Structure 1
Amino acid sequence: MPRTPGQTGAAVQSPRVPAPASAPETFRPTVPAEQWGDWRWHMRRRVTTVEKARQWIHLTPAEEEAIAGTAGKYRWSVTPYYASLMDPDDPLCPVRRQAVPALGELAEYTGAEVDPVGDMFYRKTNRVVHKYPDRVIMLITEACPVYCRHCTRKFHTTDVDGTYFRENEGSSYDEDLRYIAAHPEIRDVLLTGGDPLSYQDGRLETIISGLRAIPSVEIIRIGSRFPVLLPQRITDEFCAMLARYHPVWLNTHFNHPKEITAEAAAAVDRLLRHGVPVGNQTVLLRGINDDVETMRELMRALLRIRVRPYYLYHCDNVTGVSHFMTSVEKGWEIMEGLQGHITGFAVPQYVLTTRIGKIPIARPYFTETPAGLRLRNYRGEEMAVDDTVCPIREEAGPR
């Protein structure tokens, strides 16, 4: 049955909704269901030119100027699936703004860096970044299905001449695995990139099996935006492969409720049915999700598809990304609008990523006083708790 992309909605909705009658015939091309369900088809047909983009959206002059201006500097590609979620007429569409280059990427901002989180500073081998005592990341690839315009590794993944790799990404993994095996304090390895799922299952299994052969590695995690950008990639075969190497966890990256579609929900369900827990790391982005109602709906929608909100990242001051930054005050406003207003485990931890690690920066709900604690709830109501009722510090000897 032919499939017309472009729909969003709850997981119970049919993925075969016709394109709006007002859309020009050149928009949302009808694609056979067999092709639309094949992630390799989407990867081969990614939008990489103005001409291809015009099949999906009415490009504005500013967008066309930005595409030309970022050519040779920042890579650009959009999967047909993700392109189908873009509003063809609204340049402020939250999906479109994450996928189509903008002139803000070419502006200069004070303090912007290509590596504000210190990946290159903590790199120990070609791929291993050892920043925390008991865990490391492995930079698997520079490739992504969609080059998110807000990427914190924009230099590594989208600067044509830039990379965090010391050697080619296709070089041997032996040095990386030896480093991890030689440091038994490392119990948790996160595969990231780029997007590791850009690789075929066989190549990924070689990496994962190599890690699972190291006795001290307890947890393998994968950071991937494929459930958002191309959920067809999350096949039963892929999930079954992961299940052979448990415990395996996957963290993904939904930023707006519009991204939570029937296909995304089905991809998450496949992972969960194979025992792979799914968490979400949202980035606070100006003009995309920097208001309380949008963030509340996103967190509720994540719970509906059984994805646990994990982090709300303050957008890093990354070269080519700074135009997405909000103030920390805006982040506090949003966190205050979540705490107490939605289910507790739907509230992510608000963090700022720095060279010294991820720093929680949510405003505290208590202050210390000479008499004890002064507490504040989500309504702004306050109460005092005496030190004799809730001691703040341990006393020497028995009480």
Structure 2
Amino acid sequence: MSPRSPTSSPPDRPSGSVKTAAELRERGLIEPGELIAVERVVARFAATITEELVELINPDDPDDPIAAQFVPRAEELTLAPEELADPIGDEPHTPVPGITHRYPDRVLLKPLHVCPVYCRFCFRREVVGPGTGVLAEAELEAALAYIREHSEIWEVILTGGDPLVLSPRRLGALIAALDAIEHVRVIRIHTRVPVVDPRRINDELLAALAVASAVYVVLHCNHPRELSARAAEACARIVNAGVPMLSQSVLLRGVNADADTLEALFRRLVELRVKPYYLHHGDLARGTGHFRTTIETGQALTRALRGRVSGLCQPTYVLDIPGGHGKVPIGANYIEQDGQIADINGELHEYPPHAEEP
């Protein structure tokens, strides 16, 4: 199928979104004294908050976890020397526009750099935003040609930007183009749409997802309060349509960096038939230092959750090594230096050594 359909016009925009510092002030999401600093932040890093999320924010709570994720703050103007414009190294692994080929058997395909919301901790915050649009027709065709030419590619991950911002017609045409490539067996879609703009999960979009048989939707969600009744309904529609769902979350100071919040988040996701997949350590994106925890904090949290919640509720805690060296699991280690094994309560136990392999 020709890629013309997905790129023939700009992606749909969420209606009623709050985008400017003035609008944030009018809605009570920032204080008058923050206006000038937030204007500077928005001039550098894109900001959009859907009405769905505005409804979830308690403006009287200075520690509101939804506001922390989406409302621009002056802290974003503080740049640490270790922070990077391309913290996970997309650029060195971009053979053609729109493709990132970091692992042999899978590629990222970024058909657009537009999102319905812009997370304040986004690792692609330097390249996403209104006006960045979609890949040009020729660029998308070149990206698809690259996938066709590399038979080792088993999985294509649609990301960006948020692929579900594309209209169902464009999304369906793109999925069909990928499904027509014989060696592409799995299509994965990374999105925030079911949480931040659940009205998009309609019959037309579900039909687009059904174009290929092995489509997975990976939901980005960081706090249980994001899982509103409308978000839950949107997830149910996707799963009931036969599309499996996973989730990925980012460990964020001031949002979810405590065991109680993570437990509530992962339990609720599993109740909604969404399997927690990744818990990301915060990337070294510019202006995001106020969100990052230490790795030791994350390891302690994963250890605390191990005996507390079902294995279904256990994502893999991962670090994306700066420079494009890929994700590695960095969860708690239960093997002590003397070879003893720590149980879920921290008690140590002997385990017999194995004979050497022949």
Pair 1:383 & 2:349 matched = yes
Which range moves more in the overlay, 278-287 or 45-54? 45-54
- Percent identity over the alignment is 37
Report Cα offsets for 1:346-396 as digits up to 9, x if no partner.
011111002211011112111465xxx421111001111112xxx264x21
Please name the residue that 2:51 is paired with.
Answer: 80
Counterpart residue number, 1:98: 69
Partners of 2:98 and 2:21 in 1: how far apart? 34
Q: CA contact under 8 A between 1:57 and 1:86: conserved in structure 2?
A: no
Which secondary structure state, in structure 2, belongs to the residue aligned with residue 155 of structure 1? coil
Query: In the alignment, does 2:331 pair up with 1:365?
Result: no
Counterpart residue number, 1:300: 267
Query: What residue in structure 2 maps to residue 232 of structure 1?
Result: 199
Shift of 1:159: 9.3
Deviation at 1:294, TM superposition (A): 0.9
Structure 2 CA distance for aligned equivalents of residues 280 and 330 of structure 1: 21
Q: 2:35 aligns with which of 55, 64, 77?
A: 64
After superposition, the Cα gap between the structure-2 partners of 1:347 and 1:63, relative to the gap in structure 1 and judged at 3 Å, is farther
Conservation of the 8 A alpha-carbon contact between 1:63 and 1:100: no
1:69 and 1:89 map into 2 onto residues whose CA distance is 24
Q: 5+ unaligned residues in a row in structure 2: which ranges?
A: 1-11
The offset of 1:300, in angstroms, is 1.0
> Is residue 214 from structure 1 mapped to residue 185 from structure 2 by the alignment?
no
Q: Residue type of the partner of 1:376?
A: A
Give me the whole-angstrom Cα distance separating, in 2, the residues matched to 1:271 and 1:246. 14
CA gap of 1:55–1:278, structure 2 versus 1, over 3 A, is: farther
Match runs of 1:151-300 below 5 Å:
151-158=122-129, 169-172=135-138, 173-300=140-267
- What runs of 5+ residues in structure 1 fail to find an aligned partner? 1-39
Which has the higher relative contact order, 1 or 2, with Cα contacts under 8 A spaced 6 or more apart?
2
**For residues 272-316 of structure 1, what are the alpha-carbon distances to aligned partners after superposition, in whole Å with 9 as ceiling and x for unaligned?**
011111111110011111111111111111111111101110001
Aligned with 1:154: secondary structure?
Answer: coil
For residues 52-107 of structure 1, the C-alpha deviation after alignment (integer angstroms, 9 at most, x for no partner) is: 33454352245423321113211111111111111121232110111111111111
Alpha-carbon spacing, 1:170–1:45, altered in 2? closer, same or farther (3 Å): farther
Matched, 1:123 2:94: yes
* 1:65–1:103 contact (8 Å) kept in structure 2: no
Q: Is the 8 A contact 2:48 2:116 kept in 1?
A: yes
Code of the aligned partner of 2:172: E
TM-score (ref. length: structure 2): 0.91
Cα distance in structure 2, aligned partners of 1:95 and 1:392: 53
Task: Report the number of matched residues.
Answer: 344
Question: CA contact under 8 A between 2:29 and 2:71: conserved in structure 1?
Answer: no
- Decide whether aligned partners of structure 1 residues 47 and 159 sit closer, same or farther in structure 2, where only a CA change above 3 A counts: closer
Q: CA deviation at 1:317?
A: 1.1
Structural mapping, 1:109-148, within 5 Å: 109-148=80-119
- Residues in 2 aligned to 1:221 and 1:392: alpha-carbon distance in whole angstroms: 42
In structure 1, C-alpha distance between the alignment counterparts of 2:34 and 2:261, rounded to whole Å: 25
Taking the aligned partners of 2:314 and 2:172, their CA distance within structure 1 comes to: 33
Name the TM-score, length of structure 1 as normaliser.
Answer: 0.82
Match of 2:15 in 1: 44
What is the one-letter code of the residue matched to 1:95? I
Of the candidates 319, 335, 338, which is equivalent to residue 286 of structure 2?
319
2: CA distance, partners of 1:171 / 1:74: 27
Alignment RMSD (CA, Å) = 1.9
